[in-house]
Amino acid sequence: MMNASAGGSAGSPGGAVPNDITVAFMDGEELRGTVASFNPKLPTFFLQFSQPGGDVSTREIGFESVKMISFLRNPVLPENKVAFPQTARLVTVRFLDGQTVHGVTQSYSGARVGLFLVPTALEDVERIYVPISAIRDVVSVKMLGEILTEQGMATPDMVERAVQQQKQISEEQVGQILLKKKIITDEQLDQGLEAQKQKPGKRIGDILLEQGFVDRVQIDEALETQKRQRDKKLGEIMVDMGYATYKMIGIALAVQFNAPFMDLSNHTIDSQLIELVPVKVARQWQVVPISLQQGVLTIAIADPTEQSAQDELREITGLTVITLVATPQDIARAITRFYSQ
């Protein structure tokens, strides 16, 4: 099914076969055309498209202006099933304008600054590419649902129905939907949440590599630097070296800890939630409250390894606490913005 190479030139290995694509821009404009080569490691790409009257124009497009690129399916070619690696994840990506797209992450060779997805509900689209600059948050919808299924608390069909509903209620966790539908009990939800807190098996470097945000050479260089800067975490070092952004690190941490990633830049926090989390605690652990539903407090945290932050908040609030991941900058700005009011 895939006739576009993820790693560089689109089409055949020589890049001779053009790909039909639709480019959705951040300002709402859409443009359909063809691209002979596509390399997201470069700052721009060239799109050929037809003008009224039949003339063909070429436009250089910068990725910072792009919301999403859809690679259209060729109706002449037979449709083949896509084989996904074990690292593939079913995710929901929400854009800065609030719209969402759902798909399965596609493997990628080489460093990139975005996500390739095979969409779940776009029949005429083979795959999509979302620049990281357009992403507001990323949620792995297999997160809690997968845990509950593995523990025999809900069937895959039940989880799938909950996931479908989650597409319309993006603020709710899968577990909360299952709880509302009485598919699971409060005790089973707590067990699933407890399983979610288990220490991840993969290192952040491996996750960054799997997601295609960095390459092996960059990881090795960062690891060597970390030997001389033992007080710094690998993600921070990779940001310092210019190999990754805090947003990339946040998404990788979210994947590592089976938690959603969220861009807080346009998020508003209810004043009642602010009262639940004292400013001293918010600053100490770099956390902000996000939502409260049925006795479950969702917080955004910069470092999900800080289990003590969740423990302290459980003790202070008497609530079940689950986490999502945000960048340190977003957390700091949110604390300043909402706790100074």
- Among residues 118, 122, 120, the alpha carbon closest in space to that of 105 is found at 118
Selected residue with higher pLDDT from 70 and 205: 70
- pLDDT tens digits, 28-57: 999 999 988 888 878 899 999 887 777 888
Cβ pair 172, 290 in contact under 8 A: no
49 within 8 A of 33, measured Cβ to Cβ: yes
pLDDT band of residue 204 (cuts 50, 70, 90) is: confident
Give 79's DSSP letter.
Answer: P
Yes or no: say if 232 and 222 are a contact pair by the CB < 8 Å rule: no
SS (H, E, C) 192-233: HHHHHCCCCCCCHHHHHHHCCCCCHHHHHHHHHHHHHCCCCC
Nearest to 299 by CA among 326, 333, 318: 326
Please check the confidence at residue 192 and state whether its pLDDT lies above 70: no
77 vs 142, residue with greater confidence:
77
Tell which wins on pLDDT, 52 or 184: 52
Q: pTM score > 0.75 for this model?
A: no
